[in-house]
């Protein structure tokens, strides 16, 4: 194989969506697998919809995912001279021509086709103009577009992923390359750039498959061998509909903010269409690179399962070395905790969390007394007798030495037996007192990490709070 050159070519009209991220990832994996070059090209010729800050966001999201590019970013908005030069060359070679129909004339042609129940195809009338006449009219200031002279032949696309597709000449007309204001159109700038950048493989979403015959014709006109095409299947939600906001987060930034780890997201995205074989799921980046091949990408749509992603993220979270984890948590306030406490707290909570955000929240209870209490919990466990139970439990715990969770558990069981209370009646108000919520990991393990003093202080102060304003029965 020639040395591989691939590109990711986002249009900065939105932030990086998981679909785009998967396209970028597949290009990146393919480049790395073949020691090739991964090029980043920003397709910002749509001046109305492209925004600078979205470009920075896309670059940032790619950097966060670890998808480093070797060339670029190139900006199409800075490459107009190339498109102009290519258009002139095609005209000189007789592969493209100026078309002088006015918008009104084209509109009338369209209407006529509609009335006859046919799809509109440009008639090709201006093909007949001589070069001299074309030059003369252009020089006289007449407005024109530049159209590709489409060969009258079936175009076959042998897509590595989607298979063979044939496009008959009657669906393809002499499409516009350059508008009358000199603005290059999408198909043209893409192909001029792919040709200029020596792109060997075009890996992109299946929504671009219908554009591909035009691109093939353009590559031929430009005098280059068309690249290998690999069109990736759609990404759907678990309900089988096109993935959208309705299904939950869909932007890379959103997942980052929700506390996902880049390696988990990358691993998950890699499996949306590609199967590495042997039922492999969790892989390191190195493993993905060494196993990746276009031949193992399936043509069907794949489903974006948020639950599976959360599971994968939870797995990655467990494997992250503690110092790295602390850096990722971005919670400098945690350094106020004694090292041992922090270590024990991570040991207790990490296995029960799936994201950095969840873990950060769980660890926050070791820093400060809860400021808010879950209203549903208050309704159930902030009655006068709960205050009494809290005081009884606190008194019993105060005498435990050494202050271990097994010791506490034994004492609490004995207390439940003596008083005829259920263990939950003792434990639930304590959970609320200590964390502000009823969801917490094993209570006594948490109390052990919190330490006797903090735990008893929170329990007694919460008891006082209930006594001052008990929830009615």
Question: Active-site positions?
Answer: 245
What are the two backbone dihedrals, phi and then psi, of residue 216, each rounded to the nearest 5 degrees?
A: -60, -45
Using CB under 6 A as the binding rule, the residues of this chain from 20 to 59 that contact ligand GLU are 43
Q: How much helix, strand and coil, in percent to the nearest 5, is found in the chain?
A: 55, 10, 35
Say whether residue 10 binds ligand GLU (CB under 6 A). yes
Query: Quick one: which segment of 8-16, 153-161, 270-278, 337-345 binds ligand GLU (CB under 6 A)?
Result: 8-16
Query: Quick one: which segment of 6-14, 247-255, 367-375, 443-451 binds ligand GLU (CB under 6 A)?
Result: 6-14
- Candidates 4, 6, 9, 61; binder of ligand GLU (CB under 6 A) is 9
Q: Which of 245, 209, 244, 236 is nearest to 302 (CA)?
A: 236
Please answer whether residues 247 and 238 qualify as being in contact, where contact means their C-beta atoms are separated by less than 8 angstroms: yes
Structure tokens that stand for 155 in this block: 């175009």
Say whether residue 11 binds ligand GLU (CB under 6 A). yes
For the chain, give me the number of helices (H) and strands (E)?
A: 20, 12
Minimum separation from the CB atom of position 256 to ligand GLU (A): 21
Minimum separation from the CB atom of position 270 to ligand GLU (A): 19
Nearer to ligand GLU, 126 or 206 (CB): 206
Tell me how many degrees the CA angle 257-61-360 measures, rounded to the nearest 5: 25
Nearer to ligand GLU, 20 or 314 (CB): 20
Say whether residue 147 binds ligand GLU (CB under 6 A). no
Say whether residue 426 binds ligand GLU (CB under 6 A). no
Cis peptide before 224 (omega within 30 of 0): no
Taking the alpha carbons of 263, 268, 269, 271 in that order, is the dihedral positive or negative?
Answer: positive
- Binding residues for ligand GLU, rule CB under 6 A, total 7
Radius of gyration of the chain (CA): 32
Nearer to ligand GLU, 20 or 377 (CB): 20
- Candidates 190, 264, 408, 463; binder of ligand GLU (CB under 6 A) is 190
What are the two backbone dihedrals, phi and then psi, of residue 444, each rounded to the nearest 5 degrees?
A: -75, -30
Say whether residue 204 binds ligand GLU (CB under 6 A). yes
CB 182: neighbour CB atoms within 10 A? 12
Minimum separation from the CB atom of position 208 to ligand GLU (A): 5
Residues that bind ligand GLU (CB under 6 A): 9-11, 43, 190, 204, 208
């Amino acid at each position: 194989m020639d040395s591989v050159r691939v590109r990711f070519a986002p249009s900065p009209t939105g932030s990086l969506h998981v679909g785009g991220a998967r396209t970028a990832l597949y290009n990146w994996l393919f480049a790395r697998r073949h020691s090739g070059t991964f090029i980043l090209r920003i397709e910002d010729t749509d001046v109305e919809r492209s925004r600078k800050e979205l470009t920075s966001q896309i670059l940032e999201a790619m950097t966060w995912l670890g998808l480093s590019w070797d060339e670029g970013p190139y900006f199409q908005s800075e490459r107009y001279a190339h498109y102009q030069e290519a258009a002139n060359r095609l005209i000189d070679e007789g592969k493209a021509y100026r078309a002088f129909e006015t918008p009104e004339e084209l509109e009338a042609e369209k209407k006529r086709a509609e009335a006859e129940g046919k799809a509109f195809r440009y008639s090709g009338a201006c093909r007949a103009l001589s070069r001299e006449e074309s030059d003369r009219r252009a020089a006289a200031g007449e407005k024109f577009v530049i159209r590709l002279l489409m060969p009258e032949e079936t175009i076959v696309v042998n897509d590595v992923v989607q298979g063979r597709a044939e496009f008959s000449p009657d669906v393809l007309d002499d499409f516009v390359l350059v508008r009358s204001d000199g603005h290059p159109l999408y198909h043209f700038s893409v192909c001029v750039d792919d040709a200029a950048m020596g792109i060997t493989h075009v890996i992109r979403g299946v929504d671009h498959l219908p554009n591909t015959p035009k691109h093939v014709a353009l590559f031929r006109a430009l005098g280059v061998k068309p690249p290998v095409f690999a069109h990736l299947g759609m990404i759907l939600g678990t309900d089988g509909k096109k993935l959208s906001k309705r299904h939950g987060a869909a932007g890379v930034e959103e997942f980052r903010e929700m506390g996902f780890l880049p390696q988990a997201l990358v691993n998950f995205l890699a499996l949306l269409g590609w199967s590495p074989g042997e039922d492999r799921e969790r892989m390191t980046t190195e493993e993905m690179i060494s196993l990746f091949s276009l031949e193992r990408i399936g043509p069907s749509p794949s489903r974006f399962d948020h639950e599976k992603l959360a599971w994968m993220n939870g797995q990655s979270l467990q494997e992250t070395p503690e110092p790295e984890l602390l850096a990722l948590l971005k919670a400098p306030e945690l350094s106020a905790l004694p090292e041992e406490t922090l270590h024990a707290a991570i040991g207790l909570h990490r296995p029960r969390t799936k994201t950095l955000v969840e873990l950060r929240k769980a660890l926050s209870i070791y820093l400060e007394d809860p400021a808010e209490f879950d209203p549903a919990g208050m309704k159930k466990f902030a009655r006068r007798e709960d205050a009494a139970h809290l005081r009884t439990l606190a008194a019993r715990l105060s005498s435990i030495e050494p202050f271990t969770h097994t010791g506490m558990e034994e004492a609490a069981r004995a207390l439940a037996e003596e008083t005829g209370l259920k263990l939950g009646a003792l434990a639930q108000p304590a959970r609320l007192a200590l964390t502000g919520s009823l969801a917490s990991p094993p209570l006594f393990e948490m109390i052990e990490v919190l330490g006797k003093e903090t735990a008893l202080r929170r329990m007694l102060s919460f008891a006082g709070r209930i006594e001052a304003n008990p929830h009615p029965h």
